Amino acid sequence: MSEVKVDKISPRSGTDVTLGDASDTFTLPASATLDVNGTLDLAGSTMTGFTIPTINLDGTVESSPASGDIWYASGKFNFGTSLTFLGVWSSGGNLGTGRVYGAGCGTQSAALCISGHVSAAISSTEEYNGTAWSAGGNVGTARRHLAGTGTEAAGLCCGGYPSGATTTEEYNGSAWSAGGAMLTGRNELSAAGTQSAALNIGGNGPSNVTEEYDGSSWSSGGNLATARFAGAAAGTQSAGLFASGSSLLTVTEEYDGTSWSSGGNMITGRHTAYGAGTQSAALVMGGNTGPLDSTEEYDGTAWSAGGDLITARYGHGAAGTTTAGLCFAGNSSTTSTEEYTGGTGSFAELFSVSQGL
């Protein structure tokens, strides 16, 4: 007998059914489905063609999990999946002084909020440690619509309003000092890079000007293809990014240290939104079309949707990266701070040890 067709196999007596004898091989044809609603005991058998999930309980994080993998790390059980997950914003510590149209720089755990506007321009700087804000050194010249870049210990701010300001200041972790004056004064400009290798980009006019800073003086860089103000910047002096701005433009440009070239368009045009990250992994959140709560992430080629802010805003500050971002201050002189955790992509937390099942 070469083929048996039945709808059901049941034991003659008892509850167990044995298929074949030792060393027998059973083949399940391609695209066939074996639906097991009870228990399938395969003890002592050899299975081929099956993908067996990894179950890792030694505390090692799976860097490239397969769908179905389960692992434990840092007090959490995680599950690999083919689904992707958006990043999530969560509440951080409130600023001591709410403001709008200030500048920001640094990382999620070491950031600066610089100057800005309440009822008039304010000179205060605040420092964030990942949990709370504390007072830092005041800027020498209070202004709004300025640009900031660098780190908490080596920050840079430039330009701003009163219109046409050429002022540049450098931060050493506790105090601001005068830097080299900009060649062309502008407000509503943006900045990227470090204190010793920075870019200032665009501005009111609208302007297509780019300038490069070497730690002491500014020099002319390559002009933007599309002049604009109040755009979002990210990256470095040799690998910069400038997106959106002006009349809700979606245009993105990439800088190679000499000239700008076209990048992928944003999904939603916006202005007075701010950016963080690098040319190939950038984050832009919020902006003025209402205000906005949306976030977008750039991968060096195209923009995709990120997780929405808890509080829609514009005229805020930003810092960090696509995996660990920071957004603070904004319209209505809010004190609100939010922290971004980038999407996990191919895995999700099942539960933490403290949560249990």
**Do 217 and 323 fall into the same domain?**
yes
The conformation of residue 332, written as its DSSP 8-state character, comes to: G
Which H/E stretch holds residue 254?
strand 252-255
Least Cα distance to 194 among 153, 228, 159 occurs for 153
Domain range spanning residue 185? 88-341
CA angle 303, 308, 310 (to 5 degrees): 155
**Do 254 and 167 fall into the same domain?**
yes
What's the rounded mean pLDDT across residues 87-113? Answer: 98
Mapping DSSP to helix (H, G, I), strand (E, B) and coil, where does residue 252 land? Answer: strand
Six token digits for residue 211: 């300038």
**Do 179 and 191 fall into the same domain?**
yes
Instruction: Indicate the pLDDT class of residue 83, thresholds 50, 70 and 90.
Output: low
Instruction: Indicate the pLDDT class of residue 114, thresholds 50, 70 and 90.
Output: very high
Quote the mean pLDDT of the chain: 88
Strand ranges for 8-132 from DSSP E: 55-56, 70-73, 76-80, 88-91, 103-107, 110-114, 125-128
Which tens digits make up the pLDDT trace of 276-318? 999 999 999 999 988 999 999 999 999 999 999 999 999 999 9
**Do 297 and 350 fall into the same domain?**
no
What's the rounded mean pLDDT across residues 153-168? Answer: 94
Return all residues near 39 (Cβ < 8 A) that are at least 6 apart: none
Least Cα distance to 168 among 124, 207, 200 occurs for 200
Which tens digits make up the pLDDT trace of 39-62? 666 666 666 665 555 556 555 665
Return all residues near 350 (Cβ < 8 A) that are at least 6 apart: 70, 76, 77, 78, 79
Is the pLDDT at 345 greater than 80, yes or no?
A: no
Identify whether 217 is part of a domain.
Answer: yes
Name the domain count of the chain.
2
> What pLDDT does residue 244 have?
97
